């Protein structure tokens, strides 16, 4: 019984540590525009600031700034407890995902500004 309790506590501790994932955020990193993002190569790391206009379903959203719009993919785990609407200015970081005639951003982090 003591071993079972120990294993449960160990697993729960590990889950909490994984959920608190963090990392270094370079203060020199600057956001680019949607227009600029569309010209970048596949897997290029980017930061964008703008608004989510609407949900497209299947974890995809239409993101826009003053230069245009682009489809972004935000997995459930990236959202955490954050809630935004079309009026909230956000910053996303992620990478460009190019396939055939489609381009989108795979979001790694999202912050409400």
| 68-95 pLDDT per residue, tens | 999 999 999 999 999 999 999 999 999 9
Q: What confidence score (pLDDT) does residue 40 get?
A: 93
Segments making up each domain of the chain, as ranges:
27-112
Q: Which residues of the chain have pLDDT under 50?
A: 18-20
R_g over Cα of the chain: 17
Q: What confidence score (pLDDT) does residue 21 get?
A: 53
pTM of structure:
0.74
Assign domain 27-112 one CATH number from 3.90.1010.10, 3.30.470.20, 2.40.50.200, 3.30.9.10. 2.40.50.200
């Amino acid at each position: 019984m003591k071993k079972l309790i120990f294993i449960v506590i160990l697993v729960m501790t590990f889950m909490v540590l994984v959920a608190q994932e963090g990392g270094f955020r370079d203060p020199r990193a600057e956001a680019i525009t949607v227009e600029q993002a569309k010209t970048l190569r596949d897997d290029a790391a980017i930061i964008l600031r703008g608004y989510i206009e609407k949900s497209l379903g299947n974890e995809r959203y239409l993101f826009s700034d003053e230069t245009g719009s682009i489809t972004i993919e935000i997995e459930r785990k990236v959202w955490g407890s954050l809630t935004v609407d079309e009026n909230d200015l956000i910053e996303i970081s992620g990478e460009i995902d190019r396939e055939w005639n489609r381009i989108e951003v795979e979001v790694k982090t999202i912050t409400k500004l």
